[in-house]
Chain A
Amino acid sequence: MKKLARGAALAVLAGTVATACAPGTAKNTTSADKQTGTVKVWLYDEANRAPKEQVVAQAVADFKAKHAGVEVEVSYIPTDAGPRAEKMKGAFNDPSSAPDVVEFGNTDLFGYTASGGLADITSDLAGWEEGKDLPQDLKDTAVVDGKTYGLPWWLGVRALYYRTDVFTELGLSAPTTYDELKSAAEKVRAAHGDLLGIAVGGKYTFGALPFVWANGGDLAARGGSAYASAIDSAQSQAGVKQYTDLFTDAICPAQQCADLTGGKTVEAFAAGKAGMAILPNSSRSAVEAGAAKDKYAIVPLPGTAAGKIAPAFSGGNDLGVMKSTQHRGLASDFIKELASKKNQLALFDAMGNLPTLSSARAEVVQRQPWLKPFTDTIAAGTKFVPKDAAWAKIDAQNVVPTMLQKVITGKSDVAGATKEAAAAMNSSFSGK
């Protein structure tokens, strides 16, 4: 009896197998260009959202004044890499619940484009009067195969924040080379055991990369049509060594710093628990709100030799139109509204986010002298991640943090860890 029952169960199972269908894929919904209805917008939920909300509300009001019968529904999505990616994948997989307009980190663009999530907005931007002011190198960060998928909205570059009170007390001046930075960090911690010499993190990719770039290394190089990792080159290894050498008990103990993210280093510096930190311009509001207020200054992150600036990662966020949008024209009008000079200036005043339009940037730099180290850093030349869909995977799989953490914890040496990271990157670049 048991055998028969088992056989029957198998037969039923086989039947289900035969009739069931393939894994679900998003239906290829065609976009539409309705002129009325609700435009759904997803923006990043930044740490200080209230000022951003005000700027956006004003932009929405202006937009509605120009478009009768249109509603705009703004939602704020989490900024952390994991939850944010989940949210976006959900939108790609189910176009019916996807927004029309999205804000995204400029490094996410290549993955999103490969996932078929973003609409080509090349022609929309070509006819945008104010957009003529957008520098070409910034526009290029949003281009895949000659088509533009994003509108650069604001910029963030990192520079070195340091505690003026501690530096004055110890008779130190702002470091101008890596060696000075390291020795200053050691002196700070030697004098103040409760301070980290410099807050660095094993999970802080964009804090580590400037050291790699300053030494002439890079994440990857494009050879022909495909990228190949260069993180194991001699120059890159020198940079990785410089960064990981900061994780000593005399500067930033591995026990405490190996699993810090960029955000945690902001917290540490703002709370007055670090002598230095590598933070973006957009973190200034957080520092101003913390214990380190009025006790810090900012300089460009020093390079290998005096007078040189370590190339910073050119970070920032783009605005894009979803491929599945039912309000193609309205969505494209709305991103232009949000990224108008007026709103970029308002966003800077509210958040400290650097405008992408050249004229707007020139204006705020004149108005706010504290921005100088950041604009100097930009002027010295910035770097970017590989412009390839594989980067999203490499980033999500923590290839760079794993490499750093292996060196920091002594599980591997620089050569071994970088070789391993290069292999992982290359397997992603080759489409595995």
Chain B
Amino acid sequence: MPATTVTAPADRGDSPVRRAGGAPAPGRRRSGPLARIPVPLWLLLPAALVLIPLFGYPLYQLGLLSVLKFGQPQASGGVPTEFVGLSNYTDVLGDEQFWSVLGQTLAFAAFCVLATLAVGATCAVLLTRVGRWPRLMLMFGALGAWAAPAMTGSTVWMFLLDTNSGLVNEVLGTQGHNWMYDKWSAFAMVAVVVVWHSFPFVMITLYAGIQAIPDSVVEAARLDGAGTVTVFRKIMLPMLRPLLVIVVIQSVIWDFKVFTQIYVMTGGGGIAGQNLVLNVYAYQKAFVAENYSLGAAIGVLMTLILLGVTAVYVRSLRRSGEEL
């Protein structure tokens, strides 16, 4: 997205935040040696109390596990746990399959993010344009898809796509066609289900954002002679930007970590493992093959990749002058 610094965001809630970085509001400082440190730290404390046990500890366990040799014999067979340094990591990184799975995961996630955003945004715009009843129907349908558990949704879609008795083959007259046989066809079907599951979040969020844009701003722009495209580019997009940021980050994380749809629809990774993504690959290594430490190493690598992707994204936003 191009960096557009239009007046609109300044009127909104984020202006005090920006001011806090430069010239702090008066009256917030107290005197004394601890004065400069504690206030923000104290404010962080409640969050830390929740986050450290819930996220920090499991992450630590994950990291620890990844430098040990730890399988089922170690977990329950009384075989001593062995420190093996980085050998799990070298095993993973030296595995050709890991790299092909990583590439597949990135491509699949990127496609799903773009598709989810496109479908979600289109539906959001549609919601603002249609009458009450169609809007209700669309809302209802989308919420239904959103509410469906990933497991149920995937299973139902598999009924529809069934080779011999599925509705899709029935309608298309292609009985006996196995949609999950070809690698790309299988990925495409899973992508449809992933998008189907996640577009309602994008739709609702953006719909709320569009509704929150004051009519007066749009009207003013129109009076100044702006057409639909200009209104969209110069008014709506900048005002929606904070929401878009959140939606994109959420989608990236969700789609990179997709598990259920792939696991259920391709039976654990597809014919000869052609549809593996990182999360399913890690599951196969950790739990199916009972190599918990190798699975942990893949988990650590996944965390690092996601942190990296998010960091790059956040940085590019900061450069373009956006606040999170």
Which chain A residues have a beta carbon within 8 Å of chain B's beta carbons? Answer: 1, 4-5, 8-9, 12-13, 16-17, 20, 22-26, 28, 82, 85-86, 89, 92-93, 111, 114-117, 202, 253-256, 258-259, 389, 392-393, 396-398, 401-402, 405-406, 409, 411, 432
Contact = CB atoms under 8 A, between A and B. Distances in A.
B178 A23 contact: no
**Size category, B interface:** 35 or more
A85 B71 CA distance: 14
B77 A409 contact: no
Contacts of A116: 73, 76-79
Interface in B279-318: 284, 287-292
Interface in B59-93: 60-61, 64-65, 68, 70, 72-79, 81, 91
A20 B72 CA distance: 22
Given A93-B76, A256-B163, A1 B40 contact: yes
Contacts of B273: 398, 402
A5 B64 contact: no
B65 A23 contact: yes
Contacts of A411: 272, 274
A159 to B, nearest CB: 26
B181 interface: yes
A28 B78 contact: yes
B181 A258 contact: yes
B41 interface: yes
A258 B163 contact: no
A215 to B, nearest CB: 23
B75 to A, nearest CB: 6
Nearest to A261: B267
A20 B48 contact: no
Contacts of B40: 1, 5
Contact of A255 (B73, B91, B181, B274): B181
B284 A115 contact: no
A220 to B, nearest CB: 17
Contact of A16 (B56, B75, B178, B289): B56
A115 B81 CA distance: 13
Contacts of A397: 284, 288-289
Contact of A93 (B75, B91, B178, B288): B75
B185 to A, nearest CB: 11
A253 B176 contact: yes
A92 B75 CA distance: 8
A392 B68 CA distance: 21
Interface of B: 36-37, 40-41, 44, 48, 52, 56-57, 60-61, 64-65, 68, 70, 72-79, 81, 91, 163-164, 176-178, 180-181, 267-268, 271-274, 284, 287-292
Contact of B74 (A1, A9, A25, A85): A25
B247 to A, nearest CB: 26
A93 to B, nearest CB: 5
Given A20-B64, A258-B271, A393-B291, 20 more contacts: A1-B36, A12-B48, A12-B52, A13-B52, A13-B56, A25-B76, A26-B75, A89-B75, A114-B72, A116-B79, A254-B181, A255-B163, A256-B176, A259-B178, A259-B267, A389-B73, A397-B288, A406-B272, A409-B181, A411-B274
A393 B44 contact: no
B272 A5 contact: no
A253 B163 CA distance: 12
The residue among A12, A401, A405 with the most chain B CB atoms within 10 A of its own CB is A12
A379 B65 CA distance: 49
Given A23-B64, A409-B181, A111 B72 contact: yes
Given A396-B289, A402-B272, A405-B272, A259 B180 contact: yes
A16 B73 contact: no
Contact of B289 (A22, A93, A117, A393): A393
A406 B271 CA distance: 8
A92 B74 CA distance: 11
> Which of A1, A5, A23, A254 has the most B CB atoms < 10 Å from its CB?
A23
Nearest to B87: A432
Contacts of A1: 36-37, 40
A256 B271 contact: no
Given A5-B40, A20-B60, A405-B272, A396 B288 contact: yes
A17 B70 CA distance: 19
Contact of A115 (B76, B164, B272): B76
B272 A25 contact: no
23 contacts: A1-B40, A8-B41, A8-B44, A16-B57, A16-B60, A22-B64, A23-B81, A82-B268, A89-B72, A92-B72, A92-B75, A115-B76, A116-B73, A254-B181, A255-B181, A256-B176, A258-B181, A258-B271, A259-B180, A259-B271, A392-B290, A397-B284, A409-B272
